C-alpha cells in the first residue's frame, strides 16, 4: 500500500466517521477512481456525494467532472455534490454552488 493511498484512506475514513456521527449512513468507494469517494444518506433522504482530497492538488479533469455533477444536480434539493479538502489538517468544504462558481 503506497503512502499516498494510506493518506487518502485515512481522510476518507475520517469523513466517514464525521458523517456517521451526524446520523448518516455512509459508504466509501475505495479504489474506484470515480469522482465520488463517499456516499452519505440521512434518514430524511438527503444525499451527499463527496470527493475527498488530502491536499489541494485536484486535477483539471477531476474538477471538470465534479462541476458537471454539480451542474447535473443543481436543481435537485436533496442531493449535494461536495469537495472536502484537508489542507494542513484544516478542512475546507465546497458544495455544488461553490463548485459551479470555480
Domain ranges of the chain: 3-100
pLDDT for the residue 27: 96
Helix (H) or strand (E) holding 49, with range, is: strand 47-53
Grid cell listed for 1 = 500500500
Q: What is the pTM of this model?
A: 0.87
Q: Domain 3-100's class?
A: alpha beta
pLDDT at 90: 77
Query: Per residue of the chain (102 residues), what is the pLDDT tens digit?
Result: 677 778 888 889 999 999 999 999 999 987 667 789 999 999 999 999 999 988 767 788 888 999 999 999 999 999 999 999 888 767 888 887 788 776
Contact 28, 18 (CB under 8 A): no
Q: Please state, in angstroms and as integers, the Cα–Cα distance from residue 80 to each residue in 9, 32, 53, following that order.
A: 22, 20, 17
The answer to whether 37 touches 9, Cβ cutoff 8 Å, is: no
Question: Residue 44 has what pLDDT?
Answer: 96
Amino acid at each position: 500500500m503506497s503512502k499516498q493511498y494510506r493518506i487518502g484512506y485515512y481522510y476518507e475514513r475520517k469523513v466517514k466517521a464525521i458523517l456517521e456521527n451526524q446520523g448518516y449512513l455512509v459508504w466509501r468507494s475505495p479504489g474506484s477512481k470515480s469522482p465520488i469517494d463517499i456516499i452519505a444518506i440521512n434518514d430524511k433522504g438527503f444525499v451527499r456525494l463527496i470527493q475527498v482530497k488530502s491536499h489541494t492538488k485536484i486535477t483539471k479533469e477531476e474538477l471538470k467532472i465534479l462541476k458537471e455533477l454539480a451542474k447535473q444536480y443543481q436543481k435537485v434539493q436533496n442531493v449535494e455534490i461536495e469537495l472536502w479538502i484537508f489542507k494542513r489538517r484544516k478542512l475546507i468544504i465546497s458544495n455544488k454552488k461553490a463548485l459551479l462558481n470555480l
